[in-house]
């Protein structure tokens, strides 16, 4: 039996274990699932909290910089959509996310949904029956910047991950998700 064929999630387990080992607190199962799943985060939050809401904090088109071009594998100067959102249940902020999406890989329909309305990316993919796969790049702990401190009203450490959604063998979206280390410890 080709052992290596069973190792597909191993890198992911090693990543989450390495982050957990480097930190004084153990992570909860919900935290671990949120940081490693290749499924929709919105769908998980929807089920845990009842339907959650997304508020767009910032959304615009821009020319890809050296940094963002690398994240979504386009040329510097290619047009990308930048979106910064907060997922919340009523007044309770749950997860912050930022994304880069190369415009040239979007259909007009999806593009207009992204721009016009507060629809989570997972729901957009589901609505248009997009077949895709997700690849987790990094899982890590970071200090909150000013935006995160305000959104979550805390200076505590944040758990974060970034990943790409791949469609037709190209990167459709790069997404980073962040939440405070004390969140999802009891739910």
Contacts with its own copies, residue ranges (CB under 8 A):
1-2, 5-6, 8-10, 12-13, 16, 29-30, 32-33, 36-40, 42-44, 46-48, 50-51, 113, 116-120, 122-127, 129-134, 166-169, 187
CB-nearer residue toward its own copies: 8 or 24: 8
CB 174 to its own copies: min, Å: 17
The 92-102 sheet, strands edge to edge? 53-63, 79-89, 92-102, 170-180, 158-167
CB of 79 to its own copies, least distance (A): 23
Question: Shortest gap between Cβ of 9 and its own copies (angstroms)?
Answer: 4
**Other CB atoms closer than 10 Å to residue 82's CB: what's the count?**
15
Least distance in Å: CB of 12 to its own copies?
7
What is the enclosing helix (H) or strand (E) of 112? helix 108-116
Q: Quick one: 2 or 24, whose CB is closer to its own copies?
A: 2
Contacts of 177 (CB under 8 A, 6+ apart): 34, 41, 95, 96, 97, 160, 161, 162
Shortest approach of its own copies to residue 15 CB, angstroms? 10
**For its own copies, which is the closer residue by CB, 8 or 146?**
8
Contact 64, 79 (CB under 8 A): yes
Comparing CB distances to its own copies, the nearer of 148 and 172 is: 172
Q: Alpha-carbon distance 126 to 103, whole Å? A: 19
Of 69 and 136, nearer to its own copies (C-beta) is 136
Cβ(156)–Cβ(181) below 8 Å:
yes
Shorter beta-carbon distance to its own copies: residue 37 or 149: 37
- Phi then psi for residue 84, to 5 deg, are -130, 120
User: Minimum CB separation from its own copies for residue 143, in Å?
Assistant: 25
């Amino acid at each position: 039996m080709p052992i290596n064929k069973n190792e597909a999630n191993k890198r992911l387990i090693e990543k989450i274990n390495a982050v957990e080992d480097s930190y004084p607190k153990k992570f909860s199962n919900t935290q671990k699932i949120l940081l490693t799943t290749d499924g929709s985060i919105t769908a998980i939050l929807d089920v845990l909290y009842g339907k959650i809401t997304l508020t767009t904090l910032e959304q615009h088109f821009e020319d890809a910089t050296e940094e963002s071009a690398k994240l979504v594998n386009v040329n510097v100067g290619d047009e990308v959509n930048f979106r910064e959102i907060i997922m919340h249940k009523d007044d309770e902020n749950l997860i912050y996310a930022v994304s880069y999406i190369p415009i040239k890989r979007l259909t007009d329909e999806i593009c207009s949904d992204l721009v016009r309305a507060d629809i989570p990316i997972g729901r957009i993919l589901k609505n248009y029956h997009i077949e895709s796969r997700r690849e987790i790049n990094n899982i890590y702990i970071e200090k909150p910047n000013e935006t995160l401190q305000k959104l979550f009203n805390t200076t505590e450490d944040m758990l974060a991950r970034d990943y790409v959604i791949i469609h037709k063998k190209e990167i459709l979206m790069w997404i980073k998700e962040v939440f405070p280390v004390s969140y999802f410890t009891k739910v």
